[in-house]
């Protein structure tokens, strides 16, 4: 072994030793702190926007003090810290864990709310930055469905929760997202001549998302599919419903022009 190699190995060993000492010092500075102090430090880090430090402190707290009020608070607050740190999947997992461990906790409504907004953030954070759009309707709808389920659980179990009104508004948005998604899929099927598939999607919108603006699109696409299939009577009935509910719909002129 050459002298240069020996020196290199010694240098690496020294660096690893220093890193090890630094890690030990970092751990030692919290070693004797009580749970309440750790919780206070974590909250300060959270308020200051140092989310990674807050997460580390919450983990440290729960590791050393797994039971009691401070641990419960840490389990809830770490979900929010993950959410703010752009780690929505970990936020959802932490909220789920809190709900599972403390189903009757006085703040379990907040855990459901966090789960909902984190599920929504999962597809509107990084992806939105890359694509430049927050429209979920053309993407995987599972996050929207998961968010809707969490918000529904919140407003059903805790109708008077301070988070209930906001959750209801978000549910309306999620329903619109899901309806628009089905319309996007129906249009795709229409462009490929899959008319039965168009009818299946549009009927779903009419039946399940009756209060959304997408009903107009659903009826219009449904009428076009019936026309292309040669089902004139069904097309006429659908057009009559469309005309009654959306007299200014551009689909009416399109259908009549091509009929």
**57-87 confidence digits (pLDDT tens):** 999 999 999 999 999 999 999 999 999 999 9
Spatial separation of the C-alpha atoms in residues 158 and 143, rounded to whole Å = 22
Q: In 33-56, which positions are buried (b, 16+ CB within 10 angstroms) versus exposed (e)? A: bebeebbebbbebbeeebbebbbb
Closest C-alpha to 176, from 131, 215, 225: 215
pLDDT for 233 equals 96
The tokens for 200 are 């299946």
Closest C-alpha to 175, from 138, 221, 219, 144: 144
Instruction: Mark the ranges of the chain whose per-residue pLDDT is less than 70.
Output: 1-29, 31, 122-139, 258-259
> Quick check: 58 and 35 in contact, CB under 8 A?
no
- What is the tally of helices (H) and strands (E) in the chain? 13, 0
pLDDT for 5 equals 53
Handedness of CA 205, 206, 207, 210 (dihedral sign): positive
pLDDT for 114 equals 97
pLDDT for 14 equals 53
Domain map of the chain by residue range? 193-259
Helix axes 164-191, 142-157, angle to 10 degrees: 150
Spatial separation of the C-alpha atoms in residues 191 and 174, rounded to whole Å = 26
Coil vs helix vs strand at 127: helix
Closest C-alpha to 80, from 42, 24, 126, 135: 42
pLDDT for 29 equals 67
The tokens for 42 are 């974590």
pLDDT for 12 equals 52
pTM of the predicted model as reported, rounded to 2 decimal places: 0.76
pLDDT for 6 equals 44
Coil vs helix vs strand at 2: coil
> Quick check: 95 and 83 in contact, CB under 8 A?
no
């Amino acid at each position: 072994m050459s002298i240069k190699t020996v020196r290199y190995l010694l240098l690496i060993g020294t660096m690893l030793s220093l890193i090890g000492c630094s890690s030990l010092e970092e751990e030692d500075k919290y070693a004797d702190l009580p749970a309440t102090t750790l919780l206070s430090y974590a909250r300060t880090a959270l308020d200051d926007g140092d989310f990674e430090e807050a997460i580390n402190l919450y983990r440290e707290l729960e590791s050393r003090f797994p039971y009691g009020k401070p641990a419960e608070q840490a389990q809830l607050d770490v979900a929010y810290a993950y959410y703010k740190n752009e780690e929505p999947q970990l936020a959802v997992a932490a909220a789920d864990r809190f709900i599972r461990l403390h189903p009757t906790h006085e703040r379990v409504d907040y855990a459901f709310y966090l789960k909902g907004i984190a599920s929504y953030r999962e597809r509107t954070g990084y992806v939105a930055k890359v694509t430049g759009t927050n429209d979920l309707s053309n993407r995987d709808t599972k996050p929207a469905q998961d968010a809707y389920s969490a918000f529904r659980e919140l407003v059903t179990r805790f109708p008077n929760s301070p988070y209930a009104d906001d959750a209801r508004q978000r549910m309306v948005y999620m329903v619109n997202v899901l309806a628009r998604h089905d319309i996007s899929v129906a249009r795709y099927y229409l462009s490929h001549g899959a008319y039965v598939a168009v009818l299946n999607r549009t009927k779903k919108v009419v039946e399940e998302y009756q209060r959304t603006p997408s009903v107009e699109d659903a009826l219009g696409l449904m009428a076009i599919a019936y026309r292309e299939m040669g089902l004139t009577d069904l097309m006429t009935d659908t057009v009559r419903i469309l005309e009654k509910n959306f007299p200014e719909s551009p689909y009416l002129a399109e259908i009549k022009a091509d009929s």
